[in-house]
Amino acid sequence: MKNILVVYYSQTGQTKEIARNLIQPFEDKKQYHIDYYQIKPEKDYAFPWDGKDFYNAFPESFQQIPVSIKKPEEKILNTDYDLIILAYQIWFLTPSIPVNSFLKSEFAKKILHNRKIISVISCRNMWAKAQVKTKTLIKNAGGNLIGNIAFVDHAPNLISVITISHWLMGGKKDKKYGIFPTPGVAEEDIKNASKYGEIILRKWEENDFQNLQKEIIATKGVYLKPFIIFMDEKANKMFQIWSTFILKNKKTRKVKVRFFKYYLLIALFVISPIIFVIFFLTSPLRKKAIRKKRSLYYSVN
């Protein structure tokens, strides 16, 4: 019997559903036993999000400041898992606070140490730099990352910002005004997540995990648009400045968070379309650099 653990956190259920569908091919086989471990912060984050709480989560999220999480069951802590699936979402270009808190905890050191891990991302579309952070956290916990798959919203960037805000703050995964696309990862992609479970299962049975990520890349299990990489890198620099600034003085936090909100909206809806045009016009000059960056972000090392 081989043991698999699925570690996840999920507010809307999207990340959980993707993880469950992905692992389905293993559920169908008798020789695999699957446990699920849901990360539970001592004080969980409310869903739907209140606008103020949403932006207020930014500095701790970006600076990867952990919160206390509930202890996993003894069975989870004491089983030697043959494979661990870490299904997580991105908050402010960083693994979400609950996931970051787990990865930094003593529990993670016990559960992940010397284990093979496959990360499964479910987010809007900006995961490149967050996955670099996650790789470091997994390494620090003693885990061995062997694969990564990213599920994203394929709608144009600004449309996906509008629709995800409608979903996260309204609580319903439906079309804003009846005309915008449905937010989040497409239903079809969620349903077909098992396709990657089948790849993992085949690679396991062929004893060929070394080539797992190669196959995930070939089947577009990870894909980043050049402009998204560019924005992610630039925004990380700005977020570093903003989060440090907000955390500096507790008394002025509220007003600084409000300014951050306006900054973010202007950066997204005014500045980013202008930069996009410049980026598009100069893109032939960047082909080599983009290839290099993609191979860095797609890699599990």
Which chain residues interact with ligand FMN by CB under 6 A? 10-12, 14-15, 49, 54, 57, 89-93, 122-127, 164, 168
For ligand FMN, give the closer residue by CB, 85 or 201: 85
Do 122 and 18 contact (CB within 8 A), yes or no? Answer: yes
Rounded to whole angstroms, the Cα distance separating 128 from 186 reads 20
How near is the Cβ of 287 to ligand FMN at its closest, in Å? 25
How near is the Cβ of 98 to ligand FMN at its closest, in Å? 9
How near is the Cβ of 135 to ligand FMN at its closest, in Å? 17
Rounded to whole angstroms, the Cα distance separating 264 from 269 reads 8
The 3-state DSSP class for residue 150 equals: strand
For ligand FMN, give the closer residue by CB, 116 or 148: 148
For ligand FMN, give the closer residue by CB, 57 or 275: 57
How near is the Cβ of 221 to ligand FMN at its closest, in Å? 16
For ligand FMN, give the closer residue by CB, 109 or 261: 261
**In the chain, where does DSSP find H-type helix?**
14-27, 51-56, 58-62, 74-78, 97-103, 106-112, 128-140, 157-170, 187-191, 194-205, 212-218, 226-248, 253-266, 272-281, 287-298
Do 31 and 1 contact (CB within 8 A), yes or no? Answer: yes
Contacts of 17 (CB under 8 A, 6+ apart): 10, 190
Token pair for 14: 């999207």
With CA atoms as reference, report the closest residue to 204 among 77, 88, 18, 31: 31
How near is the Cβ of 164 to ligand FMN at its closest, in Å? 6
Find the length of the chain: 301
For ligand FMN, give the closer residue by CB, 97 or 201: 97
For ligand FMN, give the closer residue by CB, 19 or 146: 19
How near is the Cβ of 124 to ligand FMN at its closest, in Å? 3
